[in-house]
Amino acid sequence: MPVYSLGDRGIEAARFRIKFKDIFNIKEFYRALHEWLMEYEWGSVDAEGNVEGGADVWETNYIERVFPGGSKEMYWWWRMQKIPEGNSYYKYHLDINFHPLGISTTEVMRDGKKFKVNKGEVELKVYAYIEFDYKGEWSNHIFLRYFNKLFPNRIFRKDLYEDHKLELYREAYTFQAYVKKWFKLKSFLPYEEITPFYPSRAYPKWKKES
């Protein structure tokens, strides 16, 4: 679930899960996601609306367990936000929960060379949602607070549901397509990655390398 409940102060735009179990490089996977999110200007937004980027500010939780034999289980959570251009009322949220499981070290042979990689399973749960009045300018105002519920659902309903919600929905599923492409999984959605793609370091056994 999202890091906190917005109640009537927000709406969900998208949620999905991605699961991959095979051979891949977990460090390169982490780096590939970081690069995509930075390119799409996701960061951490403070109370004044300033944005700070990077996994060091996104990461709100990290747990790692090492089992006998050396395999690892990890949990890490990224909590990101950004402000739509020309807007001071909405804030976009993107929550990603990672759960790598049974991660161990192995080797693959490519172009006559051996590379150290990982094998195991990783699951991502992604939640995208919009927060209203993120600065509290309406809810804390003696007069405007009475219109704060009316504002998003009636007065600006088209702006919210047809513009902002759709924009965040598309971006969330563009991210899904990016992750699936990195893992060399099939994507059945039209929201494909169009920016320079970070090289995949996934080596599923069913996929023949050209």
- Strand-by-strand arrangement of the 72-82 sheet: 10-24, 113-132, 90-110, 72-82, 59-66
Split at pLDDT 50, 70, 90, the class of 205 is low
Q: What is the pLDDT of residues 5-15, one digit of tens each?
A: 566 677 899 99
Structure tokens at 101: 């499981």
Question: In this structure, are strands 10-24 and 113-132 parallel, antiparallel, or unpaired?
Answer: antiparallel
Threshold 0.85, pTM exceeds: no
Structure tokens at 179: 């992750």
Return d(Cα 47, Cα 138) in angstroms, integer: 14
Return d(Cα 84, Cα 92) in angstroms, integer: 7
Instruction: Identify the three-state secondary structure at position 66.
Output: strand
Q: Which of 75, 66, 72 is nearest to 120 (CA)?
A: 72
Contact call for residues 107 and 117 (beta carbons, < 8 A)? yes
Amino acid at 39: E
Q: What is the pLDDT of residues 109-144, one digit of tens each?
A: 877 788 899 999 999 999 999 988 776 655 554 555
Does the pLDDT value for residue 159 go beyond 90?
no
Return d(Cα 76, Cα 64) in angstroms, integer: 9
Q: Which of 63-72, 146-155, 199-208 has the highest mean pLDDT?
A: 63-72
Contact call for residues 150 and 132 (beta carbons, < 8 A)? no
Q: What is the DSSP string of 85-131?
A: TT-SSEEEEEEEEEEEEEEEEEEEEETTEEEEEEEEEEEEEEEEEEE
pLDDT of residue 3: 45
Q: Which of 3, 81, 49, 160 is nearest to 149 (CA)?
A: 160
